[in-house]
Structure 1
Amino acid sequence: MQTTPGTEASRGAGARADVEVPRGLSVPLAGYLAHLRVERGLTDNTLGAYRRDLERFVAHVAAEGATSPRDLTRELVEGYVEVVRTGADGRTPLAASSTARTVASVRGWTRFCEAEGLAGADPASGLKPPARPRLLPRAIPVDDVLAILEAAGAVGGERGLRDRALLELVYATGARISEAVGLDLDDLELDARGSAVRLFGKGRKERVVPLGSYARDAVEAYVVRARPGFAAHGTGTPALFLNSRGRRLSRQSAWAVLREAAQRAGLAQADEISPHTLRHSFATHLLQGGADVRVVQELLGHASVTTTQIYTLVTPDALREMYLTSHPRARG
């Protein structure tokens, strides 16, 4: 089949190989992806998720006869959501969370097309994603966190200093693992009176998070006593956490650091502990200690407090105790 110029931009893992996507769809899609990268500053991972979702969508509507955004209808969009939810196209059905993400991707593109004058009324306006089950974040007890941190440093040498500093920082700040490995030396402010770290979250949104004394001491020890040794194998990089070749530590390597530390600590279900486990534990332990949910929202970098409020579901004992000790009619 001869490929129309511009068609390749709309093909990929998410597109149907037997469908040639018209330029009337592929060009607006490419424009939207460029908008997300340049104007909204999305990360490569997030941008890749948008691309896969929308490539599958345009392949579907092209197979239904659409040649441009003006051909999109509410029925076409709802039909596509049903297809990905049920796997009616022969592919694995998406979970509710993945279907919700797909709906968000489609709504973003159709709004863009309407705003750019590429389509009439937005066919996805008001489209509701399927309800997602409200899963409780997995957190581990403070003692288990401490055991992991001790095990990370027990490796000894430069690697032990690095691994302990990395995990201390993640737990102390609630950083996503991508935020932690993305840190540069200039993002640190190590001061005995008030240390902090500058994190860059989704959309490069910046936030400054305090760094407790344990994390500060661990990071300082790594920077002074270990990082120069790692850096000597590289060509110079501002990255805070380095690998054995003197390059920025990858997310995969950071994940391995945590998994190996959890295994050495002898924790049950060590293989299920992820960097996000430390982030969840950070939030849960703060709330259990009496922190305000809006403060935790800011520390986590959540755009909405609604996202953070799910952590309140994992502290019923603390909430009950606070009620019993605070409400004048709580006890008989």
Structure 2
Amino acid sequence: MIDVALFVEHLRHGRGLSEHTIRSYRSDLAELTAFAVTRLGREPDHGDLDLDLLREWLYRGTRAGLARSTLARRSASVRAFTRWLEETGRTPIDQGVRLRAPKAESRLPRVLTEPQVEGILRSLAVRAEGDDAGARRDLAVVELLYGSGLRVSELVGADVDDVDLGRLTVRVTGKGGRQRVVPFGVPAAEALGRYVELARPRLVAGADAPPTAAFFVGSGGARLGTRAVHRLVARLLGDIPGTGPAGPHSLRHTAATHLLDGGADLRAVQELLGHASLGTTQIYTHVSTERLRESYRSAHPRA
């Protein structure tokens, strides 16, 4: 019997990983277990997870047309699991230490132009002028995502006490449980203030959900979920040209790129985004360079 549940608890309490990462690891290992059952004709145990089986599992994924990024994540999930098996004495050696997968594709993130962002915010502001509490919340959500470059998990995880409208800052908990204080601008503060005063009380009033400390709440009065934010942003970006995922992370990419375009220091952007490595932040310098190159090609007569 493979101890996936115990490994997941180890990830949650011993590694400080995000819930999104933990769900991905659990899903990958469930897929591996199902493959092993099919291949062996019985419930597998830890000793069955040898290098040949692991390689065959990844190969089947390749034949099924899985993206290289998915295969790379599967490889990382399994290698973390087999390392834990060896460290806890469940197997004598780490069978996954030599497992390799194709490197994830290196693609520049989707970034909106400033006029595109302004158009989105104007449309939300028009909706928020009415009596719709949800529209006021949606405007505040998008203003804060773009104004601060937060991850969607950080945005929905913020509590009322974490948002300081006077100092224009929000305290969030990022990857690995690391906390940081992130600034936002005056337009975001105005949208957040109207949400707190006019929308949030209505969303929580008379709701069936128990009282919550969450800053952003849904129509039922409970903490707003990441899926709801994904749906909101995907709907807003649906008609805007561009490649790449149309979700909240696009607004984070956009905020970082616009900061660098405006002359912000790379290390300051790293701190704002909560990146552990400066190398992760440097992808936005490539985005800025590519945007400059495209502008040159389209505008310069000798391009």
Q: TM-score, normalised by structure 1?
A: 0.77
Shift of 1:260: 4.7
Q: Structure 1 runs of 4+ off > 4 angstroms?
A: 64-67, 259-263, 266-272, 317-320
Give the residue type in structure 2 aligned to 1:68: D
Shift of 1:75: 2.8
Out of 283, 307, 311, the position equivalent to 2:284 is 311
Out of 176, 183, 197, the position equivalent to 2:158 is 183
CA RMSD in angstroms comes to 2.7
Trace 1:237-316 onto structure 2 (pairs within 5 A). Answer: 237-261=212-236, 267-268=240-241, 273-316=246-289
Larger Cα-atom Rg: 1
Q: Provide the secondary structure at the position in 2 that maps to 1:226.
A: helix
**How far apart are the structure 2 equivalents of 1:57 and 1:146?**
45
Give the residue type in structure 2 aligned to 1:176: R
- Does 2:14 match 1:39? yes
**How far apart are the structure 2 equivalents of 1:145 and 1:297?**
22
Gapped runs of 5+ residues in structure 1? 1-22, 88-92, 321-332
Trace 1:14-33 onto structure 2 (pairs within 5 A). Answer: 23=1, 26=2, 28-33=3-8
**How far apart are the structure 1 equivalents of 2:226 and 2:81?**
29
Q: Provide the secondary structure at the position in 1 that maps to 2:182.
A: strand
Trace 1:312-331 onto structure 2 (pairs within 5 A). Answer: 312-316=285-289
The match for 1:83 is: 60
Query: In 2 relative to 1, CA 115–97 (structure 1 residues): closer, same or farther, beyond 3 Å?
Result: same
Range with bigger deviation, 143-152 or 299-308: 299-308
Trace 1:139-288 onto structure 2 (pairs within 5 A). Answer: 139-155=111-127, 156=129, 157=131, 158-191=133-166, 194-234=167-207, 235-261=210-236, 267-268=240-241, 273-288=246-261
- Does 2:61 match 1:109? no
Give the residue type in structure 1 aligned to 2:22: L
Give the residue type in structure 2 aligned to 1:233: G
CA-to-aligned-CA distance 1:176-210 (integer Å, 9 cap, x gap): 2232122210111222xx32111222343322211
Q: TM-score, normalised by structure 2?
A: 0.83
Contact 1:151–1:262 under 8 Å retained in 2: no
The match for 1:327 is: none
Gapped runs of 5+ residues in structure 2? 294-303
The match for 1:69 is: 46
What is the total number of aligned residue pairs between the two structures?
Answer: 286
Give the residue type in structure 2 aligned to 1:113: L
**How far apart are the structure 2 equivalents of 1:255 and 1:290?**
29
